[in-house]
Structure formats: structure tokens, C-alpha cells
Chain A
Amino acid sequence: MMAARAARAASGGSGTALRRSAAPLLAPGLLWISVVYVIPGALILVYSFLTPKLGGGVVWQATLDSWEEIVARGRRSDAGWGTVGAAALRGIATAAVAAVPTVAAARYLGRRISRGLGFAALLGALAAVNHLASAYNNYTAVFARSVVWSLWATVVCICLALPLAVFISSRSSPVTKNALLIAVMVSFWTSMLVRTYAIRFLLANTGPLNNLIEALGLDRVVFLNTRFAVILGLVYTALPFMILPLYAATERVERAQMEAARDLGARPPQVFADVFVPMVRPGLTVGVVMVFVLSVSQYLVPTLLGGGKTNMIANLLELQFGEAFNWPLGAAVAALFSVVTFAGLYLTVGRRDQEELL
């Protein structure tokens, strides 16, 4: 009895544990991550304002050269007011074409027509910006290409992952469920390099797929070093990142809520749009963010499947830090890319979703 009381006294008042300082637990890990992520990140920003040194590295002499190069000097000679007009035309055309299905969908789902029109307008704006960026200079063109390809990959991933998530979560036996999930996780855990190489091997000009095509009496197809191959690769490497969060969200959807919607007169597409999608939205957001961020900064896929030197942002960065040896220019691209990525994340992901994401 006395011993127990003494022991408790010695422990220094157990109730204070939660009020104790967090520093000893926090400091080592936080410091380590800061050294590897925060300080070099800041350094990159500094480097973007310095003068390049021949053969790599920097001369500590401030200049705005790199930023000017990206923003202004690199402008293509043929870019002008004509480009702006073409971009506007393209945007309007895209919006007009897109408006037909989006308005029809809005009507069908009982939403306001303006929502359908708004979505079409967004697509048009995207097309116009894409056109402008692609025509302006090499840097904006690479950014635009990375973003557009990643968006395509994200859309394809959603289309593939949704039915699969529903399929897995609607299995009644837990054993089947686990087996199907593990089959997805195996792909998730396999090295990115191996997965990318598998696609490269399959699609190679003298690879198994082309041999099959030839055996069927058709002409060989050039798959590699095309936009198709890169987007396929992006989807292949990022798909598990969409399936797993989407599955987790689907699993939480209550069957009764879907039935309630049906009971109240909603047709299956309305149940999908009005009840299912809002309920899986947190998982969907996580998946979209992961797939997009992963794809837009992909290095292996555009390198191994895209062939060219400046396919996507990562290739541009590698070029500046590697062969071209213009570190400040690379630093400026990296800084711009980070800012765009984080701003995009902040805008697309609300606070609530951020909680879900972490």
C-alpha cells in the first residue's frame, strides 16, 4: 500500500502527462524532415535568383535572368495576338461542344441548367489556357502538357476505379474482398520502375504486343514515345492510389441511403449523382489529389515511355540540373512548380478533406 503510493509519487503525478512538453518527442523527427525538405526548398528559391556556373552549381551573384527566361524571354517568335484569338476560339468551341452533354446530364439529373453550362465553360477555359500556354514558350508548354496529361490520367483512373471499388465493396464474403484488395495492393507495392518497365517492354516496337499484332496479320504500331503511351503509363502507375481511398469511401456508404433515394423516386443515375457521389466524395478527393500530384511530377513514365527530352516537368528539371547545367533556371522551374502544386492543392482540397487526406 505504502509502496504503491510512493511509486505513484515518484512518477511525478501521472495526470500531468498530457501537459508535458512535446519538444523531446517532436524535435528529432521535425528537425530531420525540415533539413531534408524545408531548408532545401528555401534554397531552391534562393538559387533561382542566382547566376549559373558552367558545369553545374551557382555563382553567388543575384540576377533575375532565370525568371525572365521563364516568364518573358523564352517567348516563341510566332506567339502573338493571333495566338490569343486562336485560344479564345478554341475555348469557345470546346465549351460549345461540351455544353451539349453537360446540359443534357444536368437536365436528366434534375440539376439547374446553369450548372451544366458552368461545367462546360470551365472546360472551355481550360482548353483556352492550355492553348495559350502551349503556344507561349517552351516552359509554359511543358507545364500545360504535364497538367493536361495528368488530368486525362486522373479521369481515366476515376472511370476504372469506381466500378472496381463498387465491385469489391459489394462482395459479401470478407475473404473474397480481402483477396481482391490484396490483388490491388500488390500492384501498389510493386516498384514504380518495374511497373513502368513492364509497360515499356509490352509496348516496345519489337515487343510482345506488336508481335501479336503482326501475327494477326496487321501492321506494327508505334506505341512508345507517344502521348498514348505516357498517359497509359500514368494510369498504370497511379491507379492503385485511386482505388484504395475510393474503396475505403465506398465501404462506408450505407446501402439503406441508396435505397432511400430509390424509394423517394430517384432513378439509378440520380441515386449515383445525388447520393453515391457525395457520400464517396472524401475518398474521391483523396484519390484525385494523389493521382494528379503523382502524375504531374512523374519522371520515370515520361522518360521511359515518352522518349523525348522535355516531355513533362520532371524531364525539364532533370535537363536543367543534369545535361544543360543551368541550376538557377531549373531552380526557378522547380519553385514555380511547387508554388503551383501547393496552391492547387490548397484550392481544390478544403480543410475537411485535408483532415481526411492526412
Chain B
Amino acid sequence: MIRRRPSRRFANLAIGSASVLVYVFFYVPVAVLVLFSFNQARTGGRWGGFTTEWYSALFDNDRLITAAQNSLLIAVVATAVAVVLGTMLSLAIDRRTFRGRTAAQQVVYLPVIAPEIVTGVALLAFFSLTLGRLNDLLGRGAQDALRMGRPTIIIAHVAFCTAFVALVVRSSLRTLDPSLEEAAQDLGANAWTTFWRVTLPSIMPGVLGGALLAFTLSLDNFVITFFVSGPGATTLPIEVFGQLRRTISPEVNAISTLIFGASTLLLVGALVVQSTVSRQRSQRIRPLSRQPRNRAAQARATQATHTQLEGQP
């Protein structure tokens, strides 16, 4: 039984109900979408009975399957490359001093702040120019010309994925005590061993988090991919966009539901992995330097000292 002032209670009520509204706002559209993916009625938002036929129809849709395969392949390759490049970048920026560090940093974070649409059209101009020149150089005609497709998509995805990996890894590098690495080197480990045995294991949660972010960003990217994909290779979001722009159909609801489910699973899985890794780490490493944060413990400690030092007031 805790007494509260009426004004306080009112404020808590207002904040609480606003928060509930935000969650309703977040989840009602998605919930409706999921619900209607099981709707028998072909058109309209009227419930016509339960069915899973739209899901089985998805698996007969070759274009969709191909696009999904493309998406996965691109995301895996882009993530793999970006994790390596991004981790290297964050190490360089955080653990080395060099001239032009600020400038390098700003270039690295360009993908985070640059409007995607501008990047998209700029890449369209860039790739069509370079591919055109390359085709001229190789003497390829209209039949066997190099066109935009999976390689160009991967090149673009690696760039922004690298930036985000660098961002995430750097935040975990910042919390890593540099004396840990110095200790390893002091004990005779060379730079390479230090990285593999000390630095990397310590920043692993960051690297995993960065990889997950990169993977999701690549899978979900629409705007940049829209401009750098060719007729030969589309990704899932491009393919779905093409469909839902034309019609509102239960199939689109079904594929959207699957995408939503997949990304939620991915997130939950990642959170579980990350928390496991960091828990293992915190069990393994217990820094001695940490003072008792607990105020009660501190108070007891001071009190003990006082009794010793000033027994006679």
C-alpha cells in the first residue's frame, strides 16, 4: 500500500496510457496484416474464413523463390565481407592514431547519414557509366554486355553494411580497457596473437551484433537495391514491392507475414546469442579494479575505518 499524490498518480496514468497507445500503434497494423494473410476472401478487407492456401501458393511462385534466394546470397556475402572490413576499420579508428583520422571517420559514417535515395541514384549513374566503359573496353555488344545485377548489389550492400558494423564494433571497443591488450603484449604476445586471443574475444558481442545488423539491413534494403539491381537479378523486397504496388492480395500479406516472422526470429535469436556470449564473458573476466559500487558496502567500509581511527571522540 503506497500512498501517492493525486497529481503524481495522474501523471503516471497519462504516461502509462500513452505508452500502451504507442504499442497498439506499433502492433495493430502488423497484427491485421498477419490475420488477413489467412483470409479466404481474395479481395478486400472482409473476413471470409481461414485458409493457408496463400502460403502454399508462395512456394509455387518461382520468381519469389528466386528473389528470396538472391536476397539470402547477397546478404550472406555482404555480411561476411562487411564484418571483416568493418572490424578492421573500427580497430584502425579506435586503436591507432593517424593523420586525417577525423576525415576518415566522417567518410566511414557517410552511409549512416547519407539519404538512401541519393546514394541509389548516384550508384545508378556510377554503375551505368563504369559498366558502359567496361563493355566498350571488352568489346561486348548488346547480347553479352555486363549488366547490373547481383555483383553491383553486393558492392553497394558491402559499403553500408561495413559502416554499420564499424559503428557497432566501435562502441564495444570503447568499453574495452586498452590495458588488456597491453597486458597481452607485455606477456609476449605479438599484435596478431593479441588480436585473436584477447581483442576479438572481448569485442565478440559487438561483432555479432554488427553482423546481425548488417545481415538484416542487407536483407531489408529496398531503395539502394532498387537502383542498382538489373533485370536479371532482383531481391525479395524489390519483387514484393512490384507485386504489392500492383495489387493488394492475400499472397502479399502472406509473404509480408513471413518476412516479419523471419526478422523477429532473427532478432530474438541474436539477442539470445549475444546475452549468452556476454554472460560467459562476464563470468570469465572479473575485473579486480572495480570498487564496490554498492553504497551499503562502502558505508560499512568507511564506518569500519572510522571506528579504528577515531575510537575516542
Residues of A near any B CB (own CB < 8 A): 4, 7-8, 10-12, 14-15, 17-23, 25-26, 28-30, 32-41, 43-44, 47, 56-57, 160-161, 163-164, 166-168, 170, 182-187, 189-195, 197-202, 204, 206-211, 236, 239, 243, 268, 289, 293, 296-297, 299-300, 303-304, 313-314, 317-318, 321, 327, 330-331, 334, 337-338, 341-342, 345, 358
Contact = CB atoms under 8 A, between A and B. Distances in A.
Contacts of B166: 29
A134 to B, nearest CB: 21
B240 to A, nearest CB: 6
In the A-B complex, the 5 residue pairs with the closest CB atoms: A14-B185, A297-B115, A36-B159, A40-B122, A11-B190
A348 B190 CA distance: 45
A189 B266 contact: yes
A61 B185 CA distance: 59
B170 to A, nearest CB: 8
What is the predominant secondary structure among interface residues of chain A facing chain B? helix
Query: Which of A7, A8, A194, A318 neighbours the largest number of chain B CB atoms within 10 Å of its CB?
Result: A194
A54 to B, nearest CB: 15
What is the predominant secondary structure among interface residues of chain B facing chain A? helix
Contact of A36 (B89, B156, B226): B156
B77 to A, nearest CB: 13
Given A22-B97, A198-B32, 16 more contacts: A14-B186, A17-B181, A22-B96, A25-B91, A29-B166, A40-B126, A43-B125, A163-B18, A164-B22, A186-B263, A197-B252, A198-B30, A202-B28, A211-B44, A314-B117, A338-B114
Nearest to A161: B22
B54 interface: no
Contact of A297 (B116, B244, B253): B116
B117 A191 contact: no
Contacts of B186: 14
Contact of A296 (B110, B115, B252): B115
Contact of B122 (A26, A41, A296): A41
Contact of A37 (B85, B159, B194, B260): B159
Nearest to A159: B18
A247 to B, nearest CB: 11
Contacts of A299: 116-117, 222-223, 226
B125 A236 contact: no
A26 B92 contact: yes
B63 to A, nearest CB: 16
B54 to A, nearest CB: 13
A337 to B, nearest CB: 6
Contacts of B97: 18-19, 22
Interface stretch (B9-17, B135-143, B284-292, B296-304): B9-17
A358 B117 CA distance: 21
B276 interface: no
Contact of A160 (B18, B220, B266): B18
B263 A37 contact: no
A192 B167 contact: no
A25 B129 contact: no
Given A14-B190, A201-B253, A29 B86 contact: yes
B125 A37 contact: no
